[in-house]
Amino acid sequence: MLGFNALVSIALLYGAFLFSVAFAAERRAAQGRDGWLRSPWIYTLSLSIYCTAWTFYGAVGYAARSGLEYLTIYLGPSLVMIGWWWLLRKLVRIGRAQRITSIADLVSSRFGKSSLLGVIVTLLAVVGVTPYIALQLQSIAQSLDVFAARGEGGWTARDGGSAALWSAVGLALFTILFGTRNLDSNERHHGIVMAIAVEAVVKLGALVGLGIYVVWGLGGGVSDMLARLDASPIAAWEQSGGRWIGFTLLSAGAFLCLPRMFQVLVVENADESHLATASWAFPLYLALMSLFVVPIAVTGLDILPAGTNPDMFVLTVPLSQGRDGLAVWAFLGGFSSAASMVMVATIALATMMSNHIIVPMWLRSRRGGAMMAGDVRAMVLTARRASILGVLGLGYLYFRLSGGGTALASIGLVAFVGVVQVLPALVGGLFWRGATRGGAATGLLLGFAVWFWAMFLPSVGDGTAIPAGVMQAGPFGIDFLRPQALFWTGGLDPVLHAALWSLALNVAGFVAVSLASFPGPVERLQGAQFVGVFELSEGPGSWARGAADAEPLLVMAQRIIGAPEAQAIFASHAALQGKEGRLPDVTPEFIRALERELAGSVGAATAHAMIGQMTEGVSVSVEDLIAVADETAQIMEYSNRLEQKSAELGRTAAALREANAKLTALSVQKDGFLSQISHELRTPMTSIRAFAEILRDDGLDEAEQERFAGIIGDEAGRLTRLLDDLLDLSVLEAGQGLLDLRPTSLGGVVDRALDAALPLRDGLGLHRDPELDRLEVVTDPDRLAQVFINLIANARKYCDAPRPELRIVWNPAVHAVDFIDNGSGIRPDQGRVIFEKFSRLSDAGKAGGAGLGLAICREIMTRLGGGIRYLPGQGGGVFRVELPPSPTSETR
């Protein structure tokens, strides 16, 4: 008979074995011999962390309690793998393109790199998954208790608790060792994935082995077993259709949203094509896992005394027959299920916590301080390790506090409904461009709140978190807020009830707020890149790392730095690599060297973006675009100072050609915003390039040279202003930048604006309300003047009266300054549109601006706490600038 020491020794030996497997895998990966580590089979096996201790032990228990319903837990993921592979493929593609590190990162990136969404998803995941981790620790403790209960080997059931503690410590060490060895940008962990793959085989072997024993060893073969099944109470269980469908969909959603599943599905994915194998192999794995569940459950109910915990049938059935070897194997299978789930879930949660909460807080706390790269790296690693300890600590704490009494399956369902709240934002974000940050945040918070109230709190235990009175009558007697009968929908299954209401409100909030709000520029760009990820990247092969050939790189380099120079560089690198020909291998060193060479002539950002696009197929972000155009403008201003034609102008033209090629590439993207930016940038660049070329030619007299250089300067200035506007707008939209609020004379601001927009007071008759001089408001004078300047300049540009006039009038009734001109105004249906970006009313380019002015005005006034509106039907153009109801005082 097996004693405590023997069992613990076996567990420790198994742990050491996993350790050496992980270690060997890491070493192979470090040496670059990771070919078979990246096989689709390893990927498929790593997905098996879906089968936690909950499915390993709990499925049998579930079957013994509720019949075949346990199958829904396997059906959901199988449906996802087989039927939703297109969604998975999109997830994986985006994960690679955007270097996504976690599901929180994905949601945050999609909605304009919103830090708020990152925090919300992280918190949701921590609250939802902590009980799930506790569940794993509990299963280890329980399984040890089963062995202890036989009273042999001199140990007692109480040791289970300390076993949970030591397991937690051991898992934390293992996870820290292999989960935070390096800070790779793509966050892959070969060692841990390999260990999981081994564990996947062990747990499948354990269940199948036990199943074979039960069917052929105990049951007398398949036909006898079928007869037993018919006779058992399981066959007689009534199945509820609603629960079947509900649970299947729930587990399908959770499969996508569980942080650990996202980690192995997307983050650890080495190759998109692995999905093809996994899409049939993983459902097969799940089918094998579930094949013998019912026979084991039936046998347990048959041969074990009534009242035996069915969650532990996997151990108690072989033990009751004296099959210690089989029982130990099953124990190792259960241990594997628990350990692999805990490791990956912890890594995923720790990545989210450190990336979205700890590191941002730390960076903010030392804003302005000098920062070294190594400094941040050490900090991130420490944060990651601390998060791992924190997550496991929380799991252990929950295990101790909850007393480990609840049935395994119910905790799992609580976690499922919790994480599934991310699904609307995730799927909406992938397929709906109109989804906005506000919508995602609203949906998530609503769903989270309902889940917390209707499911999480009640799950802690009857009367523990929510008093029994509140459960019965609702908080403060508000009966439609009863946790398990929201809006008078009592009588539903509690899980379905919570899932239904939380998801319904989540989706409703998400859609409604998305429809009502406008995405910012970064958000819109990210949206386009996520939704259109397949249009942006051509062939399926374009994502393989380092896929660039030397040939196209040479072509590009020749275009930028000239053919002889480029060929010399390539040839010298080929010689350095000891190669015969003129083309070197495209090694990382070579790419870096080439990038440096190119950066010398087109600027670092352009070089980086171009190389990135050619070698990794990385799509271009708006930041890249702005950086590229910025460089162009700088180069232009620099060359503008040169009075004579020179080599610099040649380089400038080359840089402009490249920027133009880039813009052409970008304009292929269908996103209207980008093509607008592209169009707006091209117009000044056209003049700059044309005159730069003219200046290079001979035969210009000095006056012409001066004049053309002047035009180049003007247009470079226009380019810069456009970029400033874009940046200004994105800063405002991101809610960054400080306001300089102080008591300000409104009249003074109006005068400043008039001086800037109308220095000669020409071309526009003016009537300026003297009342303005008597008013003082608390505001940011520079920002307010910016708004006024825009309105005055617009009146001057667009007012179509024969003798244009502008009246600037204080309107005390609405606490606003009205700008009234005598033109024909704006068509009524366009009154709202004009505040959108790039919304010049006619496609006439009379404006000279980019159509960003009023969008900026709107953002500024929103930040100042007021507003700006166009008033229709006033017999002229009327813009009303509403000031916040701050204490306005009159000065004399």
Partner 1 sequence: MARRVLLIEDEPNIIEAVSFILSRDGWTVHTHSDGLSAVERVRAHPPDLVILDAMLPGRSGFDILQELRGDPATRTLPVMMLTARGQARDRDLAMRLGATHFMTKPFSNAEVLDRVRALANG
Which two three-digit tokens encode residue 35? 């070919």
Q: Which of 108, 138, 309, 678 binds partner 1 (CB under 8 A)?
A: 678
- Work out how close the CB of 609 gets to partner 1 at its nearest, in angstroms, rounded to a whole number: 18
| DSSP state at residue 621 | P
176-to-52, 80, 429, 594 alpha-carbon distances in Å = 20, 31, 32, 37
- Work out how close the CB of 105 gets to partner 1 at its nearest, in angstroms, rounded to a whole number: 32
Q: Does residue 278 contact residue 24 with C-beta atoms inside 8 Å?
A: no
- CA–CA separation, 772 vs 749, rounded Å? 9
Strand, helix or coil for residue 372? coil
Residue the block writes with tokens 């009367």: 463
Task: Give the binding range for partner 1 (CB under 8 A) out of 17-25, 261-269, 510-518, 682-690.
Answer: 682-690
- Work out how close the CB of 612 gets to partner 1 at its nearest, in angstroms, rounded to a whole number: 22
Residue the block writes with tokens 């070089």: 607
Dihedral, CA atoms, 184, 190, 191, 193, nearest 10 degrees?
Answer: 120
- Work out how close the CB of 712 gets to partner 1 at its nearest, in angstroms, rounded to a whole number: 9
Under the criterion CB under 8 A, does residue 616 sit at the interface with partner 1? no
Q: Which of 376, 547, 711, 766 binds partner 1 (CB under 8 A)?
A: 711
Is 170 or 650 the residue whose CB approaches partner 1 more closely? Answer: 650
Name, in order, each residue with C-beta under 8 angstroms of 831's C-beta and a sequence gap of 6 or more: 870, 872
- Work out how close the CB of 674 gets to partner 1 at its nearest, in angstroms, rounded to a whole number: 11
- CA–CA separation, 652 vs 325, rounded Å? 77
Complete edge-to-edge strand list for the sheet that includes strand 805-811 = 765-768, 805-811, 816-821, 878-882, 867-871
- Which residues in the 776-805 window bind partner 1 by CB under 8 A? none
- Work out how close the CB of 675 gets to partner 1 at its nearest, in angstroms, rounded to a whole number: 6
- CA–CA separation, 694 vs 700, rounded Å? 9
- Pattern 631-660, partner 1, x by CB under 8 A: -------------------------x---x
Q: Which of 34, 715, 769, 818 binds partner 1 (CB under 8 A)?
A: 715
Under the criterion CB under 8 A, does residue 663 sit at the interface with partner 1? yes
DSSP β-bridge partners for residue 867:
882
Q: Does residue 29 contact residue 182 with C-beta atoms inside 8 Å?
A: no
- CA–CA separation, 783 vs 741, rounded Å? 10
- Work out how close the CB of 729 gets to partner 1 at its nearest, in angstroms, rounded to a whole number: 21
Q: Which of 270, 685, 856, 868 binds partner 1 (CB under 8 A)?
A: 685
Strand, helix or coil for residue 837? coil
Under the criterion CB under 8 A, does residue 158 sit at the interface with partner 1? no
Q: Which of 186, 382, 621, 675 binds partner 1 (CB under 8 A)?
A: 675
- Pattern 848-877, partner 1, x by CB under 8 A: ------------------------------
- Work out how close the CB of 718 gets to partner 1 at its nearest, in angstroms, rounded to a whole number: 9
Name, in order, each residue with C-beta under 8 angstroms of 781's C-beta and a sequence gap of 6 or more: 740, 742, 744, 748, 749, 752
Return the H-helix or E-strand segment holding 809.
strand 805-811
Q: Which of 576, 668, 739, 833 binds partner 1 (CB under 8 A)?
A: 668
Is 215 or 688 the residue whose CB approaches partner 1 more closely? Answer: 688
Q: Which of 664, 824, 830, 874 binds partner 1 (CB under 8 A)?
A: 664
- CA–CA separation, 873 vs 512, rounded Å? 30
- Work out how close the CB of 722 gets to partner 1 at its nearest, in angstroms, rounded to a whole number: 13
Residue the block writes with tokens 């995405």: 519
Q: Which of 528, 635, 688, 854 binds partner 1 (CB under 8 A)?
A: 688
Under the criterion CB under 8 A, does residue 21 sit at the interface with partner 1? no
Question: Cα 562–567–568 angle (5° rounding)?
Answer: 105
Dihedral, CA atoms, 183, 186, 187, 191, nearest 10 degrees?
Answer: -100
- Work out how close the CB of 695 gets to partner 1 at its nearest, in angstroms, rounded to a whole number: 11
Task: Give the binding range for partner 1 (CB under 8 A) out of 13-21, 39-47, 667-675, 853-861.
Answer: 667-675
Under the criterion CB under 8 A, does residue 720 sit at the interface with partner 1? no
Under the criterion CB under 8 A, does residue 843 sit at the interface with partner 1? yes
DSSP β-bridge partners for residue 821:
806
Q: Which of 113, 181, 679, 869 binds partner 1 (CB under 8 A)?
A: 679
> Which of these, 355, 347, 326, 393, lies nearest to 22 by C-alpha position?
347
Task: Tell me, by CB under 8 A, how many residues bind partner 1.
Answer: 28
Q: Which of 687, 720, 886, 888 binds partner 1 (CB under 8 A)?
A: 687
DSSP β-bridge partners for residue 776:
745, 889
Is 273 or 667 the residue whose CB approaches partner 1 more closely? Answer: 667
Which two three-digit tokens encode residue 198? 């081994």
Task: Give the binding range for partner 1 (CB under 8 A) out of 141-149, 258-266, 685-693, 861-869.
Answer: 685-693
Binding site for partner 1 (CB under 8 A): 656, 660, 663-664, 667-668, 675, 678-679, 682-683, 685-691, 693-694, 711, 714-715, 842-846
